[in-house]
């Protein structure tokens, strides 16, 4: 088995044990170092090899790097064991759906980046001549901070990847058809790059 496949299977096993798609590099290595060492006894640089494979898995969009503290999340479409069990209990044949509570993992934007984006890019929609920004009760303009390349697609919490948009243009960036979304993304990357120089 190739190293990349070996590490990917070990991640799935680790996430199944934890019951969570999010894991830290340190916990993953602590859990799996003996496993890798026993399969590859001649490799004296197991940790470095695993880190390299994590990057390959990230490039293949099977995992995402969540932050700068060594946390990852499994984003591949493979269902984990606990997810398979949950799906088996969902009955779609009933007229009225059962109400169920789920705890989901999501990407958490850092508040400091939101504040910095507004300070640098302003409090009005980045689209020229947009008049959709409105004033809130506290007297401040309402503006939404948008990740141009979503975190779940490898984007980062960095100024180059943040823009300020009105609610309308923010929804357009997320939910328009593919060609519009691509044009919006291209425009935002260019406009933000000009503004932060």
Classify each residue of 20-59 as buried b or exposed e, where b means 16 or more C-beta atoms within 10 Å of its C-beta. ebebebeebbeebeeebeeeeeeeeebeebbeebbeebee
Phi-psi region of 27 (alpha: psi -120 to 50; beta: other; left: phi over 0): alpha
CA 150 to chain centre: 6
What whole-number distance in Å separates Cα of residue 63 and Cα of residue 33?
A: 19
Contact at 8 Å (CB) between 6 and 32? no
Task: Classify residue 20: in a domain, yes or no.
Answer: yes
Report yes or no on 173 lying in a domain. yes
Residue 139 sits in which domain range? 111-196
Average pLDDT over residues 168-194: 92
Whether 119 and 181 map to the same domain: the answer is yes
DSSP string, 37-48: HHH-TT-S-HHH
Lookup: tokens for 130: 């947009």
Better pLDDT: 177 or 78: 177
Higher pLDDT, 40 or 92: 40
Mean pLDDT confidence for 182-187: 93
| pTM > 0.85: yes or no | no
pLDDT exceeds 80 at position 40: yes
- Tens of pLDDT, residues 98-141: 566 655 555 555 678 888 888 899 989 999 888 888 888 999 88
* pLDDT higher than 60, residue 6: yes
Residue 154 lies in a domain: yes
Q: What is the pLDDT of residues 158-177, one digit of tens each?
A: 889 999 999 999 999 999 99
Q: 3-class SS at 49?
A: helix
Q: What is the CATH number of the domain that holds 68?
A: 1.10.10.10
User: Sorting pLDDT into bands at 50, 70 and 90, what band is 32?
Assistant: very high
Residue 155, both tokens: 């984007």
Do 72 and 132 fall into the same domain?
no
Instruction: Look at residue 187 and tell me whether its pLDDT is greater than 60.
Output: yes
Asked whether residue 19 falls in the same domain as residue 78, the answer is yes
Give domain status of residue 133, yes or no: yes
Q: What is the structure's pLDDT at 82?
A: 75
Q: Are residues 77 and 118 in the same domain?
A: no
Total number of domains constituting the chain: 2
**Cα–Cα distance for residue pair 60/54, rounded to 1 Å:** 10
The answer on 11 and 71 residing in a single domain is yes
Half-sphere exposure of 25 (CA within 13 A, CB side): 17
Q: What is the pLDDT of residue 109?
A: 54
Query: Bridge partners of 164?
Result: 145
Q: What integer pLDDT is reported at residue 7 of this predicted model?
A: 93
> Which pLDDT score is estimated for 133?
83
Separation CA 165–CA 153 (nearest Å): 20
- Does residue 116 lie in a domain region? yes
The answer to whether residue 28 sits within a structural domain is yes
The pLDDT assigned to 103 comes to: 54
Q: What is the mean pLDDT of the chain?
A: 84
């Amino acid at each position: 088995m190739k190293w990349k496949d070996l590490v990917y299977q070990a991640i799935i096993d680790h996430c199944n044990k934890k019951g969570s798609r999010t894991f830290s590099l340190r916990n993953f290595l602590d859990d799996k170092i003996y496993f890798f060492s026993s399969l590859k006894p001649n490799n004296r640089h197991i940790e470095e090899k695993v880190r390299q494979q994590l990057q390959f898995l990230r490039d293949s969009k099977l995992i995402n790097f969540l932050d700068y503290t060594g946390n990852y999340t499994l984003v591949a479409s493979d269902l984990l064991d606990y997810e398979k069990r949950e799906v088996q209990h969902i009955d779609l044949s009933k007229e009225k759906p059962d109400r169920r509570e789920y705890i989901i993992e999501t990407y958490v934007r850092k508040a400091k980046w939101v504040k910095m984006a507004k300070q640098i890019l302003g409090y009005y929609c980045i689209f020229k001549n947009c008049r959709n920004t409105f004033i809130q009760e506290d007297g401040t303009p309402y503006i939404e901070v948008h990740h141009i390349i979503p975190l779940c697609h490898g984007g980062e919490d960095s100024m180059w990847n943040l823009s300020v948009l009105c609610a309308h243009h923010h929804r357009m960036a997320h939910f328009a058809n593919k060609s519009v979304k691509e044009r919006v993304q291209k425009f935002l990357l260019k406009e933000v790059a000009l503004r932060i120089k």
